[in-house]
Homo-oligomer: A and B are copies of this chain.
Amino acid sequence: MLRLRGRDGNRLLKVDGATRAIARVLYERVAAAPIVSPHGHVPVAWLASDEPFRDPVDLLVRHDHYVTRLLHAAGVDMEAFARAADRDPRAAWRTFADHWHLFAGTASGYWLEDALAEVLEVGEPLTSESADRVYDAVAARLAEPAFRPRALFRRFGIEALATTDDPLDDLAAHASLNWTELGGRVLPTFRPDRYLDPDADGFASRVRRLVESAGEAMTFAGYLAALEERRRHFIDHGAVSADHGGEEPYTADLEPADAERLFRLAVDGTADAAQQREFRGHMLLQMARMSVEDGLVMTLHTGVLRNHSTAALERFGPNSGHDIPLRTDFVRGLRPLLERFGLVKDFHLVLFTVDETTYSREIAPLAGFYPSVFIGAPWWFLDAPDAMERFRSAVTETAGFYRGSGFVDDTRAFLSIPVRHDAARRTDAGFLARLVAEGRVSMPQAEQLIDHLVCEQPRQVFKL
């Protein structure tokens, strides 16, 4: 992958001398290794059209709700900001620069700083005073052919990049891509949330379209068959996983007649909250059943209350920065699913959490027993250096290094991809270096581990 210098080269690599030296050796082994990115949100259209990125604000600020939420919290008028971003991105960039100090110490600040300095090679630090010059320098870069999406893809050294897609997507954009030219694969991911949740806006009509697309009848059996058909379509286009969100990892194993009945109520819009929950829980279990049958890796990104502020949802739409984590219970919630499929060979279930308390209490113990369960890399708010360190500390003593998913960037911020993978490699190098310095793993073990973690582990878990 693109080699990041990390300023003095020691960024994130532990501070005491002896450990830093070990960390440095471990990091150097993998600093340039290919990027395996089995889950993320880069729009495939960017790669399919290969148009230059529009402008610095559109690329780096506006669509990144990690960033906009902190501007919002600081009192920036986000409707005015969005208008400026449309009509006068330089003005929006100045507003961003005026608030750049807010990002000190945050993960977003770290990604942006490295994206500017290392990926875009714009060396001048961002301040209110330098805002225009930095804007011009970034804009100039984006106009260069070397900074178009496909060129960056090649330069980043991406071996595989998964997108996240609607089940009814025809995947034509994916099919149009030339993997040889890109130097890596671009794979769709089946993400059916809105087809599984009776509480989602437009559920019934969406399900109807799904069922019709597959020429099935509007029954529970037809609905399942249509989902299976779409999964086959995804698999035919290279998909290796199906991804699932939701407020909780709740699963339910229903009798067919009960499932059929709840399906009816759901599409009629008459299911109450408890029935909707049972239906969602049963559909997660059905998704696991399909994964067992068709081999798609099942990933769960649950435990988040979406759109906490109704007013903000109405003003800014979904994904505007107020999805808030919830306390999560994987142990009881996933039990019905694991009772059915937890011991099935080659079934892979990757659990992501934004409730750190579940790492040592639930996820590591589950992954330390079920061959199917893998520990998802730190997700979202937890995808940051200190949180990654806490993650490794919380799971390793119970589950070791081989039950994790490998690093997952989960991002739409294309320029941050090498930055994020670099940070993960540095953090893992630092963690392993401490174990070496404390006499807990030997240096040869640590070398073997970091080699394995960076590429081989995600390849195996995601069947790449």
Interchain CB contact under 8 A, B386 and A6: no
Chain B's nearest CB lies how many Å from the CB of A252? 16
User: For residues 343 through 365 of chain A, which have their beta carbon under 8 Å from a beta carbon of chain B?
Assistant: 343, 345, 354-357, 360-362, 364-365
Which residue from B73, B103, B365 sits with its C-beta under 8 Å from A324? Answer: B365
**B residues within 8 A CB of A384?**
397-398
What B residues does A382 contact at CB under 8 A? 360
Chain B residues with CB under 8 A of A324: 331, 362, 365-366, 369
Chain A, range 223-258, C-beta contacts under 8 Å to B? none
Does A144 lie at the interface of the complex (its beta carbon under 8 Å from any beta carbon of B)?
no
Contact of A335 with B by CB under 8 A = yes
Contact, CB under 8 Å: A70 / B439: no
Quick one: given A360-B381, A370-B309, are A102 and B440 in contact (CB under 8 Å)?
A: no
Within 8 A of B (CB), among A1-43: 6-8, 10-19
In the complex, A309→B365 CA distance in Å? 13
In the complex, what's the smallest C-beta–C-beta distance from A317 to chain B, in angstroms? 14
Instruction: Please give me the residue from chain B that is nearest to A110 by CB atom.
Output: B440
Which A residues from 200 to 230 make CB contacts under 8 A with B?
A: none
CA distance A250 to B366 in the complex (A): 24
Interface centre among A105, A399, A434 (most CB of B within 10 A): A105
A301 part of interface (Cβ distance < 8 Å): no
CA distance A11 to B435 in the complex (A): 9
Determine if B69 and A441 form an interchain contact, defined as CB atoms under 8 angstroms apart: no
Q: Encode contact with B along A291-324: 1 for CB under 8 Å, 0 otherwise.
A: 0000000000000010011111000000001101
Contacting residues, chain B, for A367 (C-beta < 8 A): 73
**A74 near B: Cβ within 8 Å?**
yes
Asked if A109 is at the interface of the complex by the 8 Å CB criterion, the answer is: yes
Does A83 sit at the interface, judged by CB under 8 A?
no
Min Cβ gap A423→B in Å is: 10
Known pairs A106-B397, A366-B324, A400-B103; A343 contacts B70 (CB<8 A): no
CA distance A455 to B422 in the complex (A): 36
- Contact (Cβ within 8 A) A11 B73: no
| Cα A441 to Cα B371 with chains together (Å) | 41
Contact of A398 with B335 in the complex, beta carbons under 8 Å:
no
Q: Is the CB of A371 within 8 A of B339?
A: no
> What is the CB-to-nearest-CB distance from A299 to chain B, in angstroms, rounded to a whole number?
18
Contacts A325-B365, A326-B331, A339-B310 known; A400 to B13 CB distance under 8 Å?
A: no
CB proximity to B under 8 Å, residues A91-115: 101-107, 109-110
- A381's contact among B7, B10, B332, B365, by CB below 8 Å, is which? B365
A133 located at the interface, meaning its Cβ lies under 8 Å from any Cβ of chain B in the complex = no
| List of 9 A-B pairs having minimum Cβ-Cβ separation, nearest first | A11-B439, A384-B397, A15-B437, A16-B16, A322-B369, A325-B361, A105-B396, A386-B393, A69-B369
